[in-house]
Amino acid sequence: MPLPQIDPADVRIEPGWKAHLQTEFSKPYFAGIKQFLADEKARGKVVFPPGPLIFNAFDQTPFEKVKVVILGQDPYHGPGQAMGLCFSVPREIPVPASLKNIFKEINRDLGLPIPRHGDLTSWTTQGIFLLNAILTVEKNQAGSHSKIGWHLFTDAVIKTLSDHRNGLIFLLWGNYARSKKPLIDPQRHTILEAAHPSPLARDAFKGCCHFSKTNSILSNQGETPINWSLDE
């Protein structure tokens, strides 16, 4: 059975992103993603994040406002965790281990207090684009949507940012994020690499100083540094 055609106008996403990604929304793989998710819903499967939050990273950080890109892999798969922003969880959800390590490095690097919650929305409003390479996941099934086509879409997102913006800072943490490096033009952008903040990487993320380095680069470019502390 042929895949249904998707009218790009039907995709609800921040207008600047929509303008740059129109061709992706028209491609067969994107129709395949939409069909897969509809079929999963019909079978009673629970998918995270909720539909209105799948493109939350794009809606929170408009295309022309992006200054920093942090790349995650796929959403948290526990109830209530995923909110469409990589590494971020709602305020009422316990802070996951990887995010705890991010906070510890911010504390070590900049001396800021460790937040009591894990909602990173205040970062997104300052120009930090919190992109997961895979935008959905089945409840309690980590990586379950890794092969449905999302990687094609988010690779195009990274390439579009690289081609149509200048002076962005890409923070690539861990081997998966580093595998996206060929999509980024190093002549136009800064790429900072480090181990993943997961406890599985032991303390390899510690000492990367990506937060002070990012602010130094932004300042040198005449841009406002990031306030890495969170609203309490």
- Is residue 74 annotated as a catalytic residue, yes or no? yes
208 confidence band (pLDDT: 50, 70, 90): very high
Q: Cβ distance 169 to 192 under 8 Å?
A: yes
Q: What is the sign, positive or negative, of the torsion defined by CA atoms of 74, 79, 84, 85?
A: negative
Q: pLDDT per residue over 175-205, tens digit each?
A: 999 999 999 999 999 999 999 999 988 899 9
Using CA atoms, how far apart are residues 117 and 148, in angstroms rounded to an integer? 32
Query: What is the rounded average pLDDT of the residues 216-226?
Result: 98
How does pLDDT run across 30-60, given as a tens digit for each residue?
Answer: 999 999 999 999 999 999 999 999 999 999 9
pLDDT tens per residue, range 115-145: 999 999 999 999 999 999 999 999 999 999 9
For the residues of 130-148, what is the DSSP string, one character each? EEESS--EETTBTTTTTTS
* Percentage of residues of the chain with pLDDT beyond 70: 95
CA atoms within 13 A on the CB side of 153: 29
- Computed over every residue of the chain, the mean pLDDT equals 94
What amino acid is encoded at 82 in this protein? A
- Estimate the share of the chain in helix, then strand, then coil, as percent rounded to the nearest 5: 40, 10, 50
Please tell me what DSSP assigns to residue 46. Answer: -
Residue in 74, 109, 119, 185 annotated catalytic:
74
pTM score: 0.95
